[in-house]
């Protein structure tokens, strides 16, 4: 029998041993992180070298990170997958292609770029 109910008698199944896992929760600059892996390092250690980059994004004002409540909704006439992919990542903006013009725009006009190569 996969499960024994107390009404039918004690089958040695201890419900306390099969309760939901408790996630370890930690915050960093207003972001909330949860982890079920008891072997995982603490959040600050896990973030490691990414912390300075996160700090640049999260400490843009003296007040720090500000959470704005509410919900944002858009109506987009497209396949739902297209919108989901666009808003969950930036995979269509390869840094070596679409933003190269921005990098080159900052170069001095006298700089010889005839031998410049796009990184791959």
12 secondary structure, DSSP code: S
Domain layout of the chain by residue ranges: 11-70, 74-119
Spatial CA neighbour of 40 closest among 19, 54, 25 = 25
Q: What is the pLDDT along the chain (120 residues), one digit of tens a residue?
A: 455 665 655 666 677 777 787 899 999 988 899 998 989 999 999 999 999 988 888 888 787 777 777 877 778 788 877 777 776 666 555 555 555 666 667 777 787 777 776 665
Report how far apart, in Å, the C-alpha atoms of 47 and of each of 26, 34, 85 are.
12, 13, 25
CA atoms of 71 and 39, how far apart (whole Å): 35
The alpha-helical segments, DSSP class H, found in 17-107 are 43-47, 51-58, 80-88, 100-105
CA atoms of 47 and 54, how far apart (whole Å): 9
**CA triple 25-30-35, angle to 5 deg:** 20
Give just the sign of the alpha carbon dihedral 44, 46, 52, 58: negative
């Amino acid at each position: 029998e996969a499960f024994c109910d107390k009404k039918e008698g004690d089958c040695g199944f201890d419900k306390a041993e099969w309760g939901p896992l408790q996630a370890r929760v930690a915050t960093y600059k207003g972001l909330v992180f949860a982890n079920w892996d008891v072997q995982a390092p603490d959040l600050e250690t896990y973030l490691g070298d990414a912390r300075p980059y996160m700090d640049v994004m999260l400490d843009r004002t003296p007040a720090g990170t500000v959470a704005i409540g509410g919900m944002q909704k858009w109506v987009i006439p497209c396949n739902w997958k297209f919108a989901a992919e666009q808003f969950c990542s930036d995979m269509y903006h390869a840094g070596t292609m679409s933003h190269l013009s921005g990098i080159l725009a900052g170069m001095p006009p006298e700089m010889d770029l005839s031998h410049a190569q796009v990184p791959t």
